[in-house]
Amino acid sequence: MPGKNLELARRGYELLNRGEVDRFVTECCHPDYEFHTNVQVPSIPSVVRGHDELRAWIQQWYQDPWESQLQMEVERIEELIDGRVLALLTLRAKGHDSGIPVENEYAHILTFHQGLCTRVDGFPTWRQALTTAGLDESGSPHG
């Protein structure tokens, strides 16, 4: 059903931003969920698998280092022709100990199956996500 994946993605970001991690995991993520971080840092796994690893990842990277939980502001979100969802995000937080504000662009391409998210591919830049989705920066398909 067109739009269903888009609505689930929006709901997932809302739940995460409110700190409702358990609801996010159980209501939005398939038990075989995978998050491909696409980050080349030794302390960050390349793939986070399943509900337990996802909860631990959120705690370690979205909650613990920050004064209050990291917020993922959705700047643009759209369902792609193949049913995946592209989300261009701005990550915002303030360091727990330093108080230094952090703001960074990031992006996700989400894949769904049977009404749940099965895979998220992360991208450190919007341009990388748009290119992977076959779009240019205006949102038009590459021709």
Domains of the chain: 4-132 (3.10.450.50)
- Nearest residue to 110 (alpha-carbon basis) of 101, 102, 119: 119
CA angle 63, 5, 73 (to 5 degrees): 35
- Pair 24, 12: CB distance under 8 Å: yes
Give the span between the Cα atoms of 58 and 21, in whole angstroms.
8
pLDDT above 90: residue 89: yes
- Pair 71, 92: CB distance under 8 Å: yes
* pLDDT digits 0-9 by tens, 26-80: 999 999 999 998 877 777 788 999 999 999 988 888 777 777 778 999 999 999 9
* pLDDT digits 0-9 by tens, 100-120: 999 999 999 999 999 999 999
